[in-house]
Structure 1
Amino acid sequence: MLKYLYGLLIGIVILAGIAEVVLRVKYGFCNSPLYVSDPDFEYIYAPNQDVERFGQVIRTNQFSMRNEEILPSDSIIILLIGDSVVNGGSLTDQDSIASTILEKRFQQDFKTRVRVLNISAGSWGPDNVAAYLKKYGVFKAKLMCLVTSSHDAYDIMSHQSPVGIDPGWPDKQYKVALYELWDRYRWIFFYYLDTVLLTTEPEKPVITAENKPDPAKADTVQLDSAKQETLNQAGIRKPGTNFNPGYRQLLEIAETNKIPFFIYLHPEISEVEMGHFNDQGKEIMAFAKENNVRLINELQLGVSTKLYRKMDLVHYNAQGQIFMADNLYPLFQEYLKLPR
């Protein structure tokens, strides 16, 4: 019996060692992109990172942007601002995010270095972005584009940073990959245990590691159904009670710096299925109309649910990032008037 238990223990140790190596080498555990807290805009990726996670490369410059460093010689600069839709997170490779695609396309077509600065973070609202720009300036930009979604209308800063508190916002690397797997992703196990094994209710949308609700903002997700009488209430609902002041703050920043500014309104899955934006999306559209801000309605551009990550509510897959880049490219060209 003792010999059997000893053999079992050796086997467990060997399996754990193999799992540790696989998690580190193949999936990038203990090599997560880190975050830093900020008193003005809550949090952002830590600066000067170059990590590989889930097979995807994530790099940040000294200003925590998902970009190469800004050079003194950079004279044509666009600000592409927003939340995780723009940022891509650790499930999107650096070369697959729209900002990188656009920079490469401008370089190829115009033989000119055009910088598309990716100023974003997961769960940011427009007020987070505005606070960032107030702190660091607009980097001599010639154009500013806000990518936003309906839920941003009431996604107002709480100034309660989850960095170093919630495992989804780490400020230091884990030392053991198996512990990181348990600490950060055990909710997936319990989610499936609850929804798949212990209930017979209809399936709920699966929340991925990248769009896991931010406890600091207490998101709630409501399912959309064609049979619901209150279709306008579908989608992600934020707890704010007032329209996000960041929209007006960004407009004021653009006007002060004499920068053209427009809004790119990106729908959630439920809105793609409905064919129109919900009540919060319509408020953003009303703000744009009332303030003479150009708004690009992505629903009018042929967006499809195939462009979203599997079992996700709002985030693009790699093809979706290309779709956004394809839509933004002629708009940016129009404003910049680059000669061929």
Structure 2
Amino acid sequence: MSLAMIKYAAIGIAVLLIATECVLRWGAGLGDPPLARLDPSTEYELVPSATYRRWGNTIAINANGMRAPEHPALPANQDRHLLLIGDSVIYGGHFLDQSETISARLGELLGDDPRLAGCTLRVLPMAVSSWGLVNQAAFLKKHGPFGASAAGIVVSAHDLYDVPGATSDILPYRTEPSWTAIGDALQAVTERYLRSSHATADSQSPAVRAQLSLAALDQIADTLMDQNVRPILIYHPTTMERSGTIRAAQSRFLEWSEARGIPFLDLGMVQMAENDYRDAIHPTATGAQRIAQTIAPVIGKSLPRCLDF
């Protein structure tokens, strides 16, 4: 091969790499993955005060490590804080824009509630992808309820058995940034392969994991009620459960709520369209809107009214 041919080949490869980088970064929305940091109590948390663009969507993390706008540690007298505790269903994943998440939609809907006229309402999503109840209880213990008056605890079937280190040590977030969109894409493919090939055997039995999860749920409820926060347990079913699969986990959570005297809202009673789910469990933008519309009138009653009528 002549020197000229090598030169042209090198130029062609460079142009191809630059074009691929541009397509992946500005077309697909790669190159700026949201980051997490390891934590001894919560296992991992979102890096605070950071904004990303992922798959064309905005992901903005506030100073408290929540995917939400900044908010004061405690509300003013005529303001209201509402906690929404959960995992990726509430976090919204990276295929939903910040404005499309359940918490954002819920804030919009409750902002139109006449009972809350005169208040500034803030919905605070205490939610990170793949967090279980043990992680959530640790975060709540560490940071407190931020002056919330009410809290929705959103659970699904897998939350009954999801405890730290139970199945995989692969985090759903990166701990280091990607310098190129190409490198980001390659790492994403590798991570997907590792997750799918990772052994699914757990060192703890389902009974032990369920016991740990329900104990953490007790801890969450106790922490909330000790600070006069009114909790409600919200069950979000998978598409398989909606198609008729036995709902053993739902029954366990219902039993727990009845034993604790905590209201229980089953989202399985709400009609969802096929395009309301992105996969077996995560809602699309329309699904998030429908869920928020269902939660709003129920949890809104738990918030103290702002003005006397």
User: TM-score, structure 2 length as denominator?
Assistant: 0.86
- Letter aligned with residue 104 of structure 1: E
Q: Residue 59 of structure 2 corresponds to which residue in structure 1? A: 58
- Letter aligned with residue 44 of structure 2: Y
Q: 1:299 and 1:57 mapped to 2: Cα distance?
A: 29
Q: 2:302 and 2:197 mapped to 1: Cα distance?
A: 36
Q: Residue 321 of structure 1 corresponds to which residue in structure 2? A: 288
Give SS of 2:210's match: coil
Cα displacement (A) at 1:97: 0.7
Q: Residue 19 of structure 1 corresponds to which residue in structure 2? A: 20
Q: Name the Cα RMSD after superposition.
A: 2.8
Give 1:193-212 correspondences, 5 Å limit. Answer: none
Q: CA offsets per residue over residues 55-102 of structure 1, 9 Å max, x none?
A: 100001111011111135543111100000000121111101111122
Which of 150, 175, 179 aligns to 2:179? It is 175
Which has the bigger relative contact order, CA under 8 A and spacing at least 6? 2
Q: Does the aligned pair in 1 maintain the 2:31–2:182 contact within 8 Å?
A: no
User: 1:318 and 1:127, CA in 2 relative to 1: closer, same or farther beyond 3 A?
Assistant: same
Determine whether 1:260 maps to 2:230.
Answer: yes
Cα displacement (A) at 1:186: 4.2
Q: CA offsets per residue over residues 92-147 of structure 1, 9 Å max, x none?
A: 11101111122233334535311110101111111211111110111111001101
Determine whether 1:140 maps to 2:125.
Answer: no
Q: Does the aligned pair in 2 maintain the 1:272–1:303 contact within 8 Å?
A: no
- Give the total of aligned pairs: 295
User: 1:160 and 1:70, CA in 2 relative to 1: closer, same or farther beyond 3 A?
Assistant: farther
User: 1:52 and 1:78, CA in 2 relative to 1: closer, same or farther beyond 3 A?
Assistant: same
Q: Residue 299 of structure 1 corresponds to which residue in structure 2? A: 268
Q: 1:337 and 1:252 mapped to 2: Cα distance?
A: 20
Cα displacement (A) at 1:301: 1.7
Give SS of 2:243's match: helix
Q: 1:160 and 1:302 mapped to 2: Cα distance?
A: 32
User: 1:313 and 1:161, CA in 2 relative to 1: closer, same or farther beyond 3 A?
Assistant: closer
User: Tell me, which stretches of 5 or more residues in structure 1 are unaligned?
Assistant: 192-211, 221-236
User: 1:186 and 1:161, CA in 2 relative to 1: closer, same or farther beyond 3 A?
Assistant: closer
Identity %: 25
Q: Residue 50 of structure 2 corresponds to which residue in structure 1? A: 49
Q: 1:330 and 1:277 mapped to 2: Cα distance?
A: 28
Q: Does the aligned pair in 1 maintain the 2:82–2:150 contact within 8 Å?
A: yes
Q: 1:289 and 1:47 mapped to 2: Cα distance?
A: 36
Q: CA offsets per residue over residues 296-318 of structure 1, 9 Å max, x none?
A: 11111223443110xx2211110
Q: Residue 83 of structure 1 corresponds to which residue in structure 2? A: 87
User: 1:160 and 1:63, CA in 2 relative to 1: closer, same or farther beyond 3 A?
Assistant: farther
Determine whether 1:29 maps to 2:30.
Answer: yes
User: TM-score, structure 1 length as denominator?
Assistant: 0.78
Q: Residue 99 of structure 2 corresponds to which residue in structure 1? A: 95
Q: Does the aligned pair in 1 maintain the 2:75–2:81 contact within 8 Å?
A: no
User: Tell me, which stretches of 5 or more residues in structure 2 are unaligned?
Assistant: none
Q: 2:22 and 2:101 mapped to 1: Cα distance?
A: 29
